[in-house]
Copies of this chain bind each other. A is one copy, B any other.
Amino acid sequence: MIIIKTRMLGLIRGRMMSVMAGRVLTALPRSKARLLTSHPSQHLHSASSSCQKCELTSKRYNVQRGKFSAVSEHDLKFFQELLGSHRTVLGEEELEGHNTDWLRTVRGASSVLLKPKTTEEVSAILSYCDQHQLAVCPQGGNTGLVGGSVPVFDEVIVSTALMNQVESVDTWSGVVTCQAGCVLEALDQHVAQYGLMIPLDLGAKGSCHIGGNVSTNAGGLRLLRYGSLHGSVLGVEAVLASGEVVDCMSAMKKDNTGYDLKHLFIGSEGTLGLVTKVAINCPPRPAAVSLAFLGLQSFDNVLKTFKAAKDQLGEILSSCEFIDQSSMECVEGNLKIKSPLDEYPYYMLLETSGSNGDHDEEKLNNFLESTLGSGLVSDGTVATEPSKMANIWALRERIAEALILDGYTYKYDISLPLPHFYKLVEDMREHLGSNVVRCCGYGHVGDGNLHLNFTSRQYEKEILERIEPAVYEWTSQVNGSISAEHGLGFKKRNYIHYSKSLGAINLMKQMKKLMDPNGILNPYKVLPD
């Protein structure tokens, strides 16, 4: 074992070294500027637009349409009078991208998409739809992965695309208040000018809407550091199915006045109300960010390295991500991007963010010295320059996009106790054998969140039936969650009982009945048939 010396990793001011167990591979220029624009979100929609239409959801999944009215000429007239014809979008072609999910796995047949600009307009739309028994599908950036953001039949799509105003930024407390349609990346850029950041980051940041993030309780790359949206979101304004506006728009960090209703709208995927505004607690934007990319020989080493990172990097650890060899092969092979490390069975990305670059550098160096020295980590490279960090992040963030190029992706998003984390991938790989093109695992290991994916050339019902419910049963047996951050949407709603008790599901159904008695809000989603 060759021990890396601290000086080899970055005590040279202005530079840090990329290292592999004792030898220097590359010298990366160092900068304290943060990665802002290089996320691969711009690639998100290219994959879907170039491909054929997928089968209608109602047919593929044999769904029974609810007893809703069909949109009539009379209804369209109401919408056009309310919004004008340019914000009442009609036509199959115009709606195609809004009827189909990004993964091209589900497709609805809505004939109208509405683009309100204000809460009052959303209220008028929902009130009308509720009175006329028209089903509604709320839609943000349509980057969801469980079929929650597209219609199943002919639901009226209500898009938040034009609700993109930032209302205020309180620079004392660090709270931003904005409409639901603000794009995550744009919002993050907006608060950056005040030295703040949105405590949420995910691959789809260039397209997803903050209202959709809140409605799906999005997790992403830095939950480890900044916690869940249930903690970060201070206020929510939502419109109920009846059109009633529920104002829980406190911008206070602490407000214990009655039941905290905003949590009903966080993660309920638009089935209890349509989120129109949010207030978010923004932490200070870190002065320094570093990214370590590591190669490891065993999953046991991955876990031990995570634990060492928590101990040694403590408060500056802002992300702990994991990629297995199969995922890496996919992103390198399908997207022709290159990893800076040789082949390893497992890879980790460890990001640090802090207020003092020198301190962070020293902590990271000490950490790498000890983990490389002890053999936990076999190989590593460190980047602090934005473009270099973006290149490394791309290896992790573009896996989903790379998988699509195999053909069809069977996508699972599982929470597991850490000792079971990778065993699920191994067991499923054995279970599926050569039936699938690929079986791979990656994700937020620091949060116990595995992204488990299988691919085949095209959708095959037989493969799906070999995967489900096997993957859910396995997860349930170790008390994991069958959806860590993607939600249940349309595709997973009937598997809810693998993670929730009957009593809890019954209470959810009662709440749905209470808040949306006619069931018009995002039907066929979240709750089981």
Contacts and interface: CB of A to CB of B under 8 A. Distances in A.
Contacts of A416: 252
Interface in A461-508: 479-488, 492, 496, 499-501, 503-505, 507-508
Contact of A257 (B261, B354, B500): B500
Given A417-B172, A503-B246, A267 B272 contact: no
A418 B504 contact: no
A223 interface: yes
A178 interface: no
A343 interface: no
Contacts of A527: 258
**Band of interface residues on A:** 35 or more
A254 B356 contact: no
Contacts of A263: 230, 260, 263-264, 266
A96 to B, nearest CB: 28
A231 interface: yes
Contact of A254 (B228, B252, B287, B503): B228
Given A253-B448, A316-B315, A447-B254, A259 B355 contact: no
B449 A254 contact: yes
A244 interface: yes
A170 B418 CA distance: 9
A341 interface: no
A313 interface: yes
A257 to B, nearest CB: 4
> Which among A246, A355, A484, A488 has the greatest number of chain B C-beta atoms within 10 A?
A355
Contacts of A485: 254, 256
Contact of A228 (B217, B231, B267): B231
A316 B313 CA distance: 12
Nearest to A224: B253
A303 interface: yes
Contacts of A417: 170, 172-173, 251
Contacts of A256: 216-217, 219, 267, 481, 483-488
B415 A260 contact: no
Given A356-B359, A363-B356, A499-B250, A172 B418 contact: yes
Contacts of A508: 258-259, 261
Contact of A504 (B258, B267, B496): B258
A142 B377 CA distance: 50
Nearest to A195: B311
7 contacts: A248-B504, A250-B479, A251-B479, A254-B448, A256-B481, A258-B500, A356-B363
